[in-house]
Amino acid sequence: MAMKFPPVCLTIGASDSSGGSGIQGDIKTFTALNCFGASVLTAVLAQNFTRVCKMHAVPDDMIRSQLDAVGADLPIQAVKVGLCASVSAIRIVGAWLKARPKLRVVVDPVSLDPGGMQLLQPDMVEAMRTELLARATIATPNRFEAALLTGMDECLSVEDMEAAARNIMHKHGCSVLVTGGGMGKRSLDVLAALDGLRHFDAETVVRTKVHGTGCAHSAAITACLAKGESLRESTLNAKAYVSAAIAAAPDLSDGNGVVWHGVTVSSEVMAEDASGAQRVLT
């Protein structure tokens, strides 16, 4: 007897030759969370755990053909959009998504490589705002990407994160999760949605630099949304998954770790405290 078909997630983004992030990391995350993963490549990156060495953009007609192929054959429930390497690619993806208004869409506005090199030019950032954020169910910028999207000089404090999340939500109409890793003993994320602000936090896992965390996080939210979970449930469950994946991260490259996508997480590690804040228990 054939197995019931699992929820289908589509990742649109770049290939990471190291296997730790990008579409490779996304598909591993989808599988770990019991979803089927399909992919549309927008760029091929020569990348390791510390930097992007070279980027080759996939031609626009090939991006369009990939989108049409998977869209014609698969019952996609949720889509993650990562790195698009040109303004024209962003517009192609945006138009495809706008033609499918029922899809749940997670936009991960990747702007920096692991070494901190800027990957997006100003015209690409503007295209992302107009073409992708307007179609997003939720956007998942980190603090630095949130500052870039809002024009803030910096986004360093919880108050800055709250202001950036509100700004993006009000301008573009999507829920926004600003992630705040590296802020001390607690890893705090701020969600701005129609029902207000929420904080999601977990104890920081003390590790050397771990590659692939942002991609795994947004992919996990995508998988949870595809399974029918609410935005709040998806955000909390994704944070628990990534916290466990960081804790299990192997050091494969001279002290540089990579998230271990194959972890499983019990719902017992998640809770809501008395103030309503969402907390991952340790």
Which phi-psi region, left, alpha or beta, contains residue 144 (left: φ > 0; alpha: ψ -120 to 50)? alpha
In a domain, 34, yes or no: yes
Q: Which amino acid is at 59?
A: P
Buried/exposed code over 176-202 (b: 16+ C-beta within 10 A; e: otherwise) = bbbbbbebeeebbbbbbbeeeebbbbb
Establish if 18 belongs to a structural domain: yes
List, as own/partner pairs, every contact residues 45-48 make where C-beta atoms lie below 8 angstroms and the sequence separation is at least 24, other chains included.
Answer: 45/14, 45/15, 45/16, 45/17, 46/17, 47/16, 47/17, 47/18, 47/21, 47/22, 47/113, 47/114, 48/17, 48/18, 48/253
Expressed as residue numbers, the domain containing 233 is 8-280
Lowest-pLDDT range of 34-38, 45-49, 216-220: 45-49
Tokens representing 216?
A: 């795994």
Please give the structure tokens belonging to residue 75: 């019952």
Does some domain include residue 73? yes
Per-residue model confidence (pLDDT) at position 156? 86
Per-residue pLDDT at 278 exceeds 90: no
- pTM of this prediction? 0.90
Token readout for 281 is: 């228990």
**Does 201 have pLDDT greater than 70?**
yes
Q: Residue 260: give its domain's CATH number.
A: 3.40.1190.20
| Region 7-27 average pLDDT | 95
Q: Residue 129 carries which DSSP code?
A: I
For residues 3-17, average pLDDT: 90
Contact call for residues 189 and 180 (beta carbons, < 8 A): yes
Out of 7-11, 51-55, 191-195, 219-223, pick the least confident. 51-55
Query: What CA–CA distance (Å, rounded) separates 54 from 119?
Result: 11
In a domain, 14, yes or no: yes
- Flag whether 2 is in a domain: no
How many domains is the chain built from? 1
Give me the mean pLDDT over the 29-37 stretch. Answer: 97
Share of the chain above pLDDT 90, in %: 61
Residue at 273 is within a domain = yes
Least confident of 15-19, 73-77, 207-211: 207-211
- Flag whether 67 is in a domain: yes
Does some domain include residue 208?
Answer: yes
Given this model, what pLDDT does residue 173 score? 93
Closest CA to 221 of 119, 135, 139: 139
State pLDDT tens for residues 94-152.
999 999 999 999 999 877 655 555 667 788 889 999 999 999 999 999 988 898 889 88
Q: What is the mean pLDDT of residues 185-193?
A: 87
